[in-house]
Chains A and B, each alone.
Chain A
Amino acid sequence: GENVEQHPSTLSVQEGDSAVIKCTYSDSASNYFPWYKQELGKRPQLIIDIRSNVGEKKDQRIAVTLNKTAKHFSLHITETQPEDSAVYFCAAGTGGFKTIFGAGTRLFVKA
């Protein structure tokens, strides 16, 4: 079946450094790539998403890049802060029930 692989599973960075999380997907029909952040004990929330008609999208300190040819996309967080510590999930699909999630990356930002 279709799947989404996410790396690394755990990432530890110093406050102020950048963090990069990478995902690959298998379904070439995928055209929607959201990223969700889940803080400890809280619900996942969408932080940024990108559609296949663009290669990059930025929102303040976070950015997502997409390479459809290689079927991979990445989340970049610059100037990390302790409040960025959370689990991040990538996902790929065509939206709704046709969305496959990665296994998640636990990000630790050390003050």
Chain B
Amino acid sequence: DGGITQSPKYLFRKEGQNVTLSCEQNLNHDAMYWYRQDPGQGLRLIYYSQIVNDFQKGDIAEGYSVSREKKESFPLTVTSAQKNPTAFYLCASNIGAGGSGELFFGEGSRLTVL
């Protein structure tokens, strides 16, 4: 069953802690993305990767970091430098350049900072 899997679904963090959100896809997609979703603000791009071992900052990258060591995996670390980390995080993938443009999303991870 192909798709994108995010984990954990819910995560609580104390202030000052780093946390890592997992994103795995078995769609053989080249491109992967991380979005942040806040009420009334739509989806904002944090980081994206168009190919293994390469990634670029999106519109709101401050306080976040990523890696792309494998085609299937694109983990996101929310660092203690992120001033307002409580949010819903969505991972997505698509074929990449030359593809249809459709984004395939995971089910999301809800992070709450206590």
Interface residues of A (CB under 8 A from B): 1, 4, 6, 9, 32, 34, 36, 42-46, 49, 89, 95-97, 99, 101-104
Question: Smallest distance from the beta carbon of B10 to chain A beta carbons, Å?
Answer: 11
- B42 lies within 8 A of A101 (CB): yes
Summed over the interface, the residue pairs from A and B with CB atoms below 8 Å come to a total of 59
Interface secondary structure of B, over-half rule? loop
Interface residues of B (CB under 8 A from A): 31, 33, 35, 40-45, 48, 50, 56, 58-59, 90, 94, 96-97, 99-103, 105-108
Chain B residues near A36: list those with CB within 8 A.
103
A97 with B48, Cβ < 8 A, contacts A34-B101, A43-B108 known? yes
- A103 lies within 8 A of B101 (CB): no
- B40 lies within 8 A of A102 (CB): no
Question: Smallest distance from the beta carbon of B44 to chain A beta carbons, Å?
Answer: 8
Question: Smallest distance from the beta carbon of B41 to chain A beta carbons, Å?
Answer: 6
Give Cα A4 to B42, complex, Å. Answer: 10
- A95 lies within 8 A of B108 (CB): no
A34 with B48, Cβ < 8 A, contacts A96-B97, A102-B42, A103-B41 known? no
- A104 lies within 8 A of B103 (CB): no
- B31 lies within 8 A of A96 (CB): yes
Chain B residues near A103: list those with CB within 8 A.
40-42
The chain B residue sitting closest to A96, CB to CB, is B31
Question: Smallest distance from the beta carbon of B93 to chain A beta carbons, Å?
Answer: 10
Give Cα A6 to B42, complex, Å. Answer: 10
- A96 lies within 8 A of B96 (CB): yes
Question: Smallest distance from the beta carbon of B7 to chain A beta carbons, Å?
Answer: 14
A96 with B108, Cβ < 8 A, contacts A49-B101, A101-B42, A103-B40 known? no
Chain A residues near B100: list those with CB within 8 A.
49, 95
